[in-house]
Amino acid sequence: MNRIEVVQGDITQQKVEAIVNAANESLLGGGGVDGAIHRAAGPQLLEECRALGGCPTGQCKVSKGYRLPAKWVIHTVGPIWGGGTHREAESLASCYRNCLETAVKNGIKTIAFPSISTGAYGFPVQQAAQIASAEIQDFLAQDRQIEKVRMVCFDAPTLGTYRTAFGLQ
């Protein structure tokens, strides 16, 4: 059974147990994926996020999904691209790894990721896609709980880049 899907779509519409938010360290909302998730989940999400006390880059925190189809939101903070010499690759890899570990700890079997850091944070898409592919595949190779990891790309060029990185055509 193939446990990885790479699709084009809107992360807020995904019928999976958990969606990942590309948040910032405040966890108090923003634009892009973060704005879309807060709009779709409703004001209770911000209320819960206020109590989470922020989140360092590369790590993640869990909240409920409120009005979203997903029961959970795993908020992670990707690195801001600074040219590649500030451990951006390591931070992005740890976002994917920590979200998957957190999913397992919470009994989650289906999870959807957006393209973390490649919007407002400026991480080059091709390198980000390779990191996502490597981390997700390494994780699934040693895990038996997660049944589905769905990469949800917003636009066609991003979709093409991720499909290539995941070896799908």
* Helix residue spans in 25-87 (DSSP H): 32-41, 43-50
- Cα dihedral value 104, 94, 51, 62, nearest 10: -20
Pair type for strands 18-23 and 148-153: unpaired
74 versus 152: smaller Cβ distance to ligand AR6: 152
Of the residues 52, 62, 104, 120, which one makes contact with ligand AR6 according to CB under 6 A: 120
Of the residues 4, 36, 46, 134, which one makes contact with ligand AR6 according to CB under 6 A: 36
What's the closest the beta carbon of residue 144 comes to ligand AR6, in angstroms? 28
Is there binding between residue 119 and ligand AR6 (CB under 6 A)? yes
* Span near ligand AR6 by CB under 6 A; candidates 21-29, 51-59, 60-68, 83-91: 21-29
Active site residue 143: no
CB atoms within 10 A of CB 23: 28
Is there binding between residue 50 and ligand AR6 (CB under 6 A)? no
Which residues have CB under 8 Å from 83's CB, separation 6+?
none
